[in-house]
Amino acid sequence: MDVQGHEKRQSYRMNVVFRADASLRIGSGHVMRCLTLAEELRRQGHSCEFVCRKHAGHLGEFIASRDFTCHLLANPEEPAAKPAQSYNAGYSDWLGVDWETDAEQTLAAISPRQVDWLVSDHYALDSRWEKRLATVARRLMVIDDLADRDHECDLLLDQNLGTQDSDYNHRVPARCSKLIGPRYALLRPEFPALREGALERRAKPSIKRILISLGGVDPDNVTAEVMRALTHSSLPVDTELDIVLGAAAPHLEEVRALAEELPLQATVSVSVSDMAERMCRADISVGAAGSTSWERCCLGLPAIMVILAENQRAIGNALAASGSAVLLDQDAITDQLGGILDELVRSDERLQRLADNAKTICDGLGTSRLVSEMVRISKS
């Protein structure tokens, strides 16, 4: 190792604060991808902390268990929170309060310190909030998927396939550096580390083990719909179902009970820390068209993607068009899922094509690329 270069990197330290929420409605994806970035920043010697609202299903304790400070803002039902009224239409109630209240509470959590980077990953926040927080942050970064509102930021990440740099031309300042596409997807280091072995395994396609992961919360219990639909397929009884949910999933016990009744070999795991290994062992995945799409692509895992929300449709359509996944609407699960799996079981060639196309989408190194850009901008 170049010791002098290592010491030089360690001597430059950034203080980074993340503003992201999880809840039974929002899900866990925003916080989880911010945690991925935070852990890579910490690995490179930088300090990170979180500001999250105390929604039902928040991940404050989980963040703390990863040894990050988490400042929990008041729950909307508590006196400190005003009624929601004047913020981004469409996702406004995801915040729980008006943007002005959120800005003031976030400022109070951070002040009187100045931070090098404030990272916002929240569909209900826009340039108004960002301008207010600029008083305590030297640089602002936005993680977005929608390109539907203005931002006042120095760096913008949209990791989604199909998004174009031009989608943000009139949404961000001219100075803003834009990182667009799955090349910058926020994946934990175990995914690129396991990529080579996973791709070798795909050389002999078959369906013996299916990973079912439809979000940590799955408030509509789509997991159970998928499990029941599989009983209408011709999968052999020794087919393994690896079902993953978060501890906050409201239908967890129902899923566990259903797993006991299925004619297939079903196991239910909660809040797993080995998702990369599970994806490596799986032959196909039934999952949501969200951030885990890039994890599957990195490991060449063929996927049947279920659209659970309209904000996932663009990702799903782009991956389906690339030949990396099969797309399925939630209301078509019962009628179509079994038939799709039966077709893939009969066609090793199609299963192989899905894997080959998926692996070209994402190499898993986006997190380190993003940190390098944050350091470059911070030093400039």
Q: Which residue range forms the structural domain that includes residue 152?
A: 3-186+364-379
User: In terms of domains, do 233 and 204 share one?
Assistant: yes
pLDDT above 70 for 86: no
Alpha helix locations (H) across the chain? 3-11, 29-43, 60-65, 99-110, 127-133, 190-201, 222-230, 252-261, 275-281, 292-298, 313-321, 333-346, 348-359, 366-379
Question: What's the pLDDT tens digit per position in 223-250?
Answer: 999 999 998 899 999 999 999 998 889 9
Q: Do residue 341 and residue 275 come from a single domain?
A: yes
Sheet containing strand 284-288, edge to edge, reads 265-270, 240-245, 209-213, 284-288, 303-307, 325-329
Helix ranges (H only) for 134-288 are: 190-201, 222-230, 252-261, 275-281
Mean pLDDT of the residues in the chain? 92
Do 11 and 134 reside in the same domain of the chain? yes
Q: Which of 235, 254, 273 is nearest to 36 (CA)?
A: 273
What does the pLDDT average to over 69-97? 68
pLDDT-above-70 percentage for the chain = 93
Same domain, 63 and 212: no
On the question of pLDDT at 84 being above 90, the answer is: no
Closest-CA residue to 60 (of 48, 73, 70, 47):
70
Q: Establish whether the linkage from the previous residue to 83 is cis, with ω within 30° of 0.
A: no
Looking at the fold, whether 86 and 212 belong to one and the same domain comes out as no
Encode pLDDT of 329-350 as tens digits: 999 999 999 999 999 999 999 9
Output the pLDDT for position 65: 96
Q: Is 343 found in the same domain as 283?
A: yes
**pLDDT above 90 (res 321):** yes
177 in the same domain as 128: yes
* CATH code where residue 24 lies: 3.40.50.11190
Domain total of the chain: 2
Residue with more model confidence, 113 or 102: 102
Please check whether residues 312 and 293 belong to one and the same domain: yes
Same-domain pairing of 146 and 206: no
95 and 207 together in one domain: no
Q: How far apart are the first and last CA of the chain?
A: 26
Residue 343's domain is classified under what CATH number?
A: 3.40.50.2000
Same domain flag for 138 and 243: no
Q: Strand, helix or coil at 185?
A: coil
pTM of the model: 0.88
For residues 177 and 85, membership in a common domain is answered with yes
| pLDDT of amino acid 10 | 53
